[in-house]
């Protein structure tokens, strides 16, 4: 589903949201749902094809990501995982959503990678997430029962039963429809001129890498994914295969579509995927299940994820009328609901005057659930040094 029309509203809006990727859409949708007048400006189309979210696998896997992510990311991810069903239920178009867990597998020679993952999960995840039924060790028989398509292929695995995934492109389309439904004045295919930003009482900059002029420490990290059609491989949940050189994830979507990825390359090169990357991704998928050898390649795609030096998301107030929301890195869909909700809450506090100066901001931050994301202009730069 695509939405190309915009609701035209005269006068200066309460909020101008710059950037209509995932975070921008969520912020605008939430503020409009609270009764505010919102305008959104996006250089790409309503489908979201210009955004990093268009290429994402949209796995909601905070424990699996705990192998490399900070505890803040893990906790944001868990809270956002709980929030997604409420968001999707309020949107006017259906979105594939699954909460059937994540399966982690490895070949016999790569058992040390599994031990390392377990240690990191327990180090980076709160005990309430990493303990008990949240992580289950499976032997070969248990793995076969959990994922029959992989029976006999792996001797051990880890099941993280609480995790989920959704369809990224359906989500972008449903949010576009939701913006229209809530009468957001959406300006698609409209680039923002830094020297003449749109008028609004409060501006919220969610442009990702498009905001580099305002956030010099921002950088892109390239990600590459393959989308394939593979009937007959009945995976019931995302699968991650551990490997010292070629770790991958395989996320099964609707209609026998699979998203395969894992590559992460420093730099903002947005050229097509290399032959090497394609071979590594597809060979690793073949190693998970040989039927992927007969899959049909639908896309080999790339995008750059906006990343700050500490790999953490950031909401920065300039002390006047602008918020910058950025740095979601590779965790966009996993953490976006909580990041967007926090940004929308602070934006509303600025509009109402509840936050009007540094003292008011400090007080608001002290009461916020995700205080480590919140910064005054200058603080974030100092932390990055």
Integer Cα distance of 61 and 81 in angstroms: 8
Q: What is the pLDDT of residue 133?
A: 59
The region of weakest confidence among 133-142, 176-185, 251-260, 319-328 is 133-142
Residues 6+ apart with CB under 8 A from 117: 67, 104, 158, 242
Q: What is the pLDDT of residue 125?
A: 83
Q: Is 95 helix (H, G, I), strand (E, B) or coil?
A: coil
Integer Cα distance of 327 and 315 in angstroms: 9
Integer Cα distance of 12 and 24 in angstroms: 19
% of the chain exceeding 90 in pLDDT: 84
Contact in structure between 318 and 324 (CB atoms under 8 Å): yes
Q: What is the pLDDT of residue 244?
A: 85
Map tokens 């994820």 to a residue: 305
Integer Cα distance of 4 and 17 in angstroms: 17
Q: pLDDT tens across 156-183, in order? A: 999 999 999 999 999 999 999 999 999 9
Q: pLDDT tens across 82-121, in order? A: 999 999 999 999 999 999 999 999 999 999 999 999 888 8
Q: What is the pLDDT of residue 8?
A: 45
Cα 16 to the chain's mean position, in Å?
22
Kindly provide the b/e burial profile for residues 104-117, where b requires at least 16 CB atoms within 10 angstroms of the residue's own CB. Answer: bbbeeeeeebbeeb
The region of weakest confidence among 60-69, 132-141, 348-357 is 132-141
Max CA distance (Å), the chain: 65
Q: pLDDT tens across 248-295, in order? A: 999 999 999 999 998 688 889 989 999 999 999 999 999 999 999 999
Confidence at 123, pLDDT banded by 50, 70, 90:
confident
Q: Is 21 helix (H, G, I), strand (E, B) or coil?
A: coil
Instruction: Flag whether the pTM goes above 0.85.
Output: yes
Q: pLDDT tens across 6-43, in order? A: 444 458 999 999 999 999 999 999 999 999 999 999 99
* Cβ neighbourhood burial of 274 (10 Å; 0-12, 13-18, 19+): middle
- Ordered by where they begin, the domains of the chain are 15-55+168-215+311-384 (3.50.50.60), 102-161+219-306 (3.30.9.10)
Residue 370: pLDDT above 50?
yes
Residues 6+ apart with CB under 8 A from 369: 79, 338, 342
Q: What is the pLDDT of residue 265?
A: 86
**H or E element at residue 36:** none
Residue 4: pLDDT above 50?
no
The region of weakest confidence among 7-11, 63-67, 242-246 is 7-11
């Amino acid at each position: 589903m695509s939405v190309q029309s915009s609701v035209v509203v005269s006068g200066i809006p309460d909020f101008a949201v710059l950037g209509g990727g995932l975070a921008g859409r969520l912020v605008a949708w939430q503020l409009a749902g609270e009764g505010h007048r919102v305008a959104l400006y996006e250089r790409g189309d309503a489908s979201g094809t210009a955004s990093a979210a268009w290429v994402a696998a949209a796995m909601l896997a905070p424990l699996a990501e705990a192998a490399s992510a900070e505890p803040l990311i893990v906790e944001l991810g868990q809270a956002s995982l709980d929030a997604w069903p409420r968001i999707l239920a309020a949107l006017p178009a259906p979105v594939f959503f699954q909460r059937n867990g994540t399966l982690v597998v490895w070949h016999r020679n790569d058992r040390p990678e599994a031990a390392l993952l377990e240690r990191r999960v327990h180090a980076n995840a709160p005990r309430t997430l990493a303990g008990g039924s949240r992580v289950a060790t499976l032997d070969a028989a248990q793995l076969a029962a959990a994922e029959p398509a992989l029976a006999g292929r792996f001797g051990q695995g880890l099941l993280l039963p609480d995790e989920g995934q959704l369809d990224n492109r359906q989500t972008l389309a449903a949010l576009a429809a939701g913006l229209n439904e809530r009468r957001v004045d959406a300006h698609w295919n409209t680039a923002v001129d830094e020297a003449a930003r749109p008028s609004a009482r409060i501006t919220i900059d969610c442009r990702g890498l498009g905001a580099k002029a305002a956030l010099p420490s921002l950088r892109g990290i390239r990600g590459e994914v393959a989308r394939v059609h593979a009937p007959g491989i009945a995976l019931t949940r995302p699968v991650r295969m551990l490997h010292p050189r070629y770790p991958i994830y395989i996320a099964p979507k609707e209609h026998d579509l699979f998203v395969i990825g894992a590559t992460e390359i420093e730099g903002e090169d947005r050229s097509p995927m290399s032959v090497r990357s394609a071979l590594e991704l597809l060979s690793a998928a073949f190693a998970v299940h040989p039927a992927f050898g007969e899959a049909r390649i639908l896309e080999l795609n790339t995008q750059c994820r906006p990343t700050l030096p500490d790999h953490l998301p950031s909401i920065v107030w300039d002390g006047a009328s602008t918020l910058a929301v950025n740095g979601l890195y590779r965790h966009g869909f996993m953490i976006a609901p909580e990041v967007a909700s926090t940004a929308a809450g602070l934006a509303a506090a600025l509009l109402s005057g509840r936050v009007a100066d540094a003292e008011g901001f400090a007080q608001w931050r002290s009461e916020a659930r995700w205080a480590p994301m919140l910064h005054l202009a200058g603080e974030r730069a100092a932390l990055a040094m």
